[in-house]
Structure 1
Amino acid sequence: MSSSATNTMEIESSDVIRLIQQFLKENNLLNSLAAIQDETTVALNTVESVEAFTSEVLQGNWDNVLRAVSQLKIPEKKLMDLYEQIVIELVEMREIGTARTLLRQTTPTQLLRDQFPDRYLHLEHVLSRSHFDPKEAYPNGVSKEKRRQIIAQALSSEVTVVAPSRLVTLLGQALKFQEQQGMLPPDTAYDLFRGTVPVVHAEADDVPTRCYNTIKFPKKQHAESVAFSPNGQYLVTGSVDGFIEIWNYLTAKLRKDLKYQAEDHLMSMDDSAVLALAFSKDSEMLASGAQDGKIKVWKIQTGQCLRRYSPAHQGGVTSVCFSPDGTQVLSASFDLTIRLHGLKSGKMLREFRGHTSFVNHASFSLDGTQVMSSSSDGTIKIWDYRTANCIRSFSPHDGTGTMAGASGLTVNSCIPFPKPNQVLVCMKSPTAYLLTMEGEPIRKFMSPDSLTEGAVKDLTAAAAARAAGTGDVKKEGLGVPMTDFLALNVSPQSEIVYCLAENSRLHCYSSDTGKLIKSIPVAEGEVIGMAAHPFTNVLAINTVDGRVLLWKA
């Protein structure tokens, strides 16, 4: 569990409104600007330059001044002073018709008539005279220039200058910050309105060769499960203490842009170890399965628990996944069953029975019509999704007739390969397989620690003996370290198959040929499992010593 306090910055709603107003003004949407100012009573009151605005007043460029003022919210008294001065100067220029219209048909001069009738009558008198007398127009020894200075000072105090495109600039800065914090993938288009990143094309496949960051858990804690979201934005861990946390996979820091994590209100499975995690296809929901048999479904953006199944199984939940349409959750368990749960109803919809030992993994086929399960009884079973009937059951083999199941080897997982009717199978052995959904071998991926067919068979036999309690690898005198695979995954473009071995080495194979590309040690301690990023060549590998190691090409 991680925790830390964060500072929140309060933003005034009026400032947000002004940013919108500036955007409207700069894009010449003046009717919309006026409507927002009238409805909110918030004035924009910005000019490109206070000095230039003041200069226009001092020079008597009243057309420009009135054009600018029309988009500002100026106190009534200052507007009356302005219009009074303009009328006087129009009379001086003998623009009598314009002066008369301005005096009798504008709102500020009508307010002047109602509130200061003496001043209004004075303007009428100036307007009716056959000649212009400055002393009569400006009583008390005030000059035209002095009046302009007073008005310029009064108006300039009402306006401010804001850098152009302020709203767009702030949004860009916010997105840049999120990108730097790893909340957004770099150099990726962003749907600002919906707040989402569109699905991006996967990188060209490459082998991860360096550990670029590490997530460290508190002492005596570790991640039992890890998963990336389909949209690539989230890395989630499920801990032995029951906490579920969303991480920035670039910086290895907790995602504090999620409010519930910033406030230290983490998703939790109530002190039971989180053995399984899976995202919905749209990356908006997360399913978690715990050692006590419970399943919960969460909303990622809020941390809210949308549904709980308590218990979903009589034993620990080893695997969870969403149906393709996101309306159901499929789970596997130590209780020998696979179950399908309705998200809306909260009830178990179907149960798939037939395995005689732990069910380690269950998933949907690519087309969503079948369910595939892997068990410690050494078999893979294919089920009809709608009827829960077992269509076929087989044990992985290498094409020579050697049946892994007959030897009692555990099948850790069976996942769809991104080609029709093909699956990748990880067994507790030094060999992984690419099979058809009928169980026919297509390709195998052998541990580099056993370079010959005979060595593979010897290791398989030794593993079976060890599982039966009748043998020991070292005592068999094979001279080869045991390198059973724990987990496998596939690269973004499906060109590379990753196999994680018990000796903490990652073996990378060509999916087309089965040949080893590279073998690298990825951890000093004991490894538990791994997850692969959907678009980039990044792997997250969780270990018993409380680390999640982040590797990339």
Structure 2
Amino acid sequence: MSIEIESEDVIRLILQFLKENKYDETLHTLEQETNVKVNTLENKEDFISEIKKGEWDKVLRHVADLKLPAAKLLDLYEQVVLELAEMRELSAARTLLRQTEPMYILKQRQPERYLKLEHTLSRSVLDPKEHYPQGMTKEKRRQIIAQGLASEVNIVEPSRLMSLLEDCIKWQRHQGLLKTEANFDVFSGSAVNQQIEDEACVNDKYKEIKMPGKNTYAECTIFSPNGLHLVSGSVDGFIEVWNPVNGKLRKDLKYQAEENLMAMDQAVICLCFSTDSEILASGSTDGKIAIWKIQSGLCTKRFSPAHSQGVTCIRFNRDASEILSSSYDHTIKIHKVKSGELVKLFEGHTSFVNSVMYSSDNTTIISGSNDGTVKIWDYTTGACLHSIKAAEGIFVQQVLTIPGEFTKIVAIYSNNSAAILSDQGLTLKLIKNKSESNFVSGVVSHQGSFLYILSEDSFLHCYDIVAEKFLSHSKVCDDEVIGISAHPSSNVIAINNDKRRIFLYKHTSLNDEQI
């Protein structure tokens, strides 16, 4: 279940936090900039009692921190002026009448009512009959004002913001989205000192996701950068968000609970996330790109089309202001996300461009194509700086970066080999599969130690990049495997095949198995 939260309510929580911790200057600045008042009281009964007793100095101090309807505020100030006049506190009554904002509003909107108060202050004796209709008394008038004002304010428990954050963390732990360590970094959403799991080769198929529908399967998968979501793009155009811990559809997302899924007109063959995990992009076989808000499932932008043929790969830049894409139409493009404007066009490949990415330092663009080349492009000028040719008749299936390595690139070839390349166009290491089965897809682990590669015989190969050797070869399934993705901070990978399955793997140590 998803809950809609108003932005003003978030601001009120912050205002209450500032008020409780005596950050008065920040409190007033935020109120002025947002025009939002916290509109809460610590004790509503005391507030009502103060009005009924006519303790107006206390009441007005409370009211100064509240946002109240003008009509009820005018009634309050009018009553205070009348009672001050009755007590012959004429100086205070005139100050309140002539120098406060509510009375200025009364003068502008209801001049006759305002003038009546002025005349009252000029008389030597106050006649209650003129201001209280038949049957009305001062005490009854106070009670009416108290009830009216009390209905506009809420009672909020102390430290409400902190309580909600604690409840949120407890719920995520209950759902299996967080580890159970006591120390937790609320800002990053990770356990302190546990944010990045030490790398180890995956060896345990711990979950199997079965896609809904008889004639569908996942063409691609991706983990969100915060690790909370696993997203699949299907051959039938649907985009679904899964819990990578338990392998279940995320029904806490309202649109999925209501079976109102994100969807494109044709098969979704590539996905990417913004670095903050809030925005998802999808590319389809008809050349279209869509931009989605992951929490609401709303599509904020469609490029119809971005390419004349299918979109094979997409990547956001660091601030998600631009989106990089490659296509079967032999081109690479960069579009502005908000305006849809085409910013850059990279031409030079003579066949399908299967994969594209920004370099680790964002100064170059790297692409791999069916023409057998890996090309490195200057981001600013669009010029091709280097072109690395694979063996004759070999396609470049995929290009990947290695975390922490700014000068190295991984290329997955269409035969039984892959290569580690330099950003200057040199082949540093050739990686070969002894089984002779051709490679399909690959991914680098979250810290860059391992290269996971799928082959056509549906084997998963784990290659140690540092030690330069294969650590394991394991059979995934008996059906055709399509793609693979890696978790951003844990030893978890997802593999999708053409028979409605997504397999989730993790590393399990001997000690874990014994426990």
TM-score > 0.5, shorter chain as reference: yes
Distance 1:179 1:537, change over 3 A: same
Distance 1:198 1:302, change over 3 A: farther
Distance 1:336 1:178, change over 3 A: same
Partner of 1:215: 209
Partner of 2:291: 297
Partner of 1:382: 376
Partner of 1:416: 401
Could you tell me which of 184, 204, 222 is aligned with 1:189?
184
SS in 2 for 1:264: coil
Partner of 1:265: 260
- Does the CA-based 8 Å contact 2:288-2:311 persist in structure 1? yes
CA distance, structure 1, for counterparts of residue 295 and residue 486 of structure 2: 22
Partner of 2:270: 276
1:185-334 equivalences in 2 (<5 Å)? 187=181, 189-191=184-186, 201-218=195-212, 219-270=214-265, 272-334=266-328
- Does the CA-based 8 Å contact 2:439-2:455 persist in structure 1? yes
CA distance, structure 1, for counterparts of residue 333 and residue 248 of structure 2: 35
Aligned-pair CA distance for 1:75: 8.8
Deviations 1:181-206 (A, max 9, x none): 245565473437xx955996421111
CA distance, structure 2, for counterparts of residue 505 and residue 520 of structure 1: 5
1:68-467 equivalences in 2 (<5 Å)? 74=49, 168=162, 171-184=165-178, 187=181, 189-191=184-186, 201-218=195-212, 219-270=214-265, 272-396=266-390, 404=391, 406=392, 408-418=393-403, 419-449=405-435, 459=436
Aligned-pair CA distance for 1:417: 2.2
Deviations 1:431-458 (A, max 9, x none): 2111112332222322242xxxxxxxxx
SS in 1 for 2:320: coil
Could you tell me which of 427, 440, 447 is aligned with 1:493?
447
- Does the CA-based 8 Å contact 2:483-2:495 persist in structure 1? yes
CA distance, structure 1, for counterparts of residue 210 and residue 3 of structure 2: 26
CA distance, structure 2, for counterparts of residue 320 and residue 7 of structure 1: 29
- Does the CA-based 8 Å contact 1:44-1:73 persist in structure 2? no
Partner of 1:526: 480
1:240 maps to amino acid: V
- Does the CA-based 8 Å contact 2:373-2:396 persist in structure 1? yes
Distance 1:10 1:491, change over 3 A: closer
Distance 1:186 1:361, change over 3 A: farther
CA distance, structure 1, for counterparts of residue 455 and residue 180 of structure 2: 32
CA distance, structure 1, for counterparts of residue 384 and residue 18 of structure 2: 62
Aligned-pair CA distance for 1:174: 3.2
CA distance, structure 2, for counterparts of residue 73 and residue 502 of structure 1: 76
Partner of 2:107: none
- Does the CA-based 8 Å contact 1:429-1:485 persist in structure 2? yes
SS in 1 for 2:169: helix
CA distance, structure 1, for counterparts of residue 273 and residue 371 of structure 2: 28
Aligned-pair CA distance for 1:343: 1.6
- Does the CA-based 8 Å contact 2:364-2:377 persist in structure 1? yes
CA distance, structure 1, for counterparts of residue 319 and residue 398 of structure 2: 22
Could you tell me which of 472, 476, 501 is aligned with 1:547?
501
- Does the CA-based 8 Å contact 2:482-2:498 persist in structure 1? yes
Aligned-pair CA distance for 1:76: 8.0
Deviations 1:529-552 (A, max 9, x none): 010011100001111111111110
SS in 2 for 1:545: coil
Partner of 2:60: none
- Does the CA-based 8 Å contact 1:378-1:395 persist in structure 2? yes
Partner of 1:59: none
Partner of 2:119: none
- Does the CA-based 8 Å contact 1:509-1:518 persist in structure 2? yes
Question: Which structure has the greater CA radius of gyration?
Answer: 1
Aligned-pair CA distance for 1:257: 3.0
Where do 5+ consecutive residues of structure 2 fail to align? 28-36, 56-79, 88-155, 508-515
CA distance, structure 1, for counterparts of residue 481 and residue 272 of structure 2: 20
CA distance, structure 1, for counterparts of residue 17 and residue 420 of structure 2: 60
CA distance, structure 1, for counterparts of residue 22 and residue 486 of structure 2: 49
Aligned-pair CA distance for 1:225: 0.7
- Does the CA-based 8 Å contact 2:274-2:280 persist in structure 1? yes
CA distance, structure 2, for counterparts of residue 498 and residue 376 of structure 1: 21
CA distance, structure 2, for counterparts of residue 210 and residue 246 of structure 1: 22
Aligned-pair CA distance for 1:211: 1.4
Aligned-pair CA distance for 1:7: 8.9
CA distance, structure 2, for counterparts of residue 275 and residue 17 of structure 1: 43
Deviations 1:282-339 (A, max 9, x none): 2222111001110112222332222211111111111111123322111111111111
CA distance, structure 2, for counterparts of residue 202 and residue 499 of structure 1: 22
- Does the CA-based 8 Å contact 1:328-1:340 persist in structure 2? yes
Distance 1:198 1:366, change over 3 A: farther
Deviations 1:357-411 (A, max 9, x none): 1111111111212111111111111112222222221223xxxxxxx1x2x1111
CA distance, structure 2, for counterparts of residue 249 and residue 205 of structure 1: 18
CA RMSD in angstroms comes to 3.8
Distance 1:179 1:198, change over 3 A: closer
- Does the CA-based 8 Å contact 1:327-1:343 persist in structure 2? yes
Distance 1:375 1:77, change over 3 A: closer
- Does the CA-based 8 Å contact 1:22-1:44 persist in structure 2? no
- Does the CA-based 8 Å contact 1:531-1:539 persist in structure 2? yes
TM score, norm. by length of structure 1:
0.63
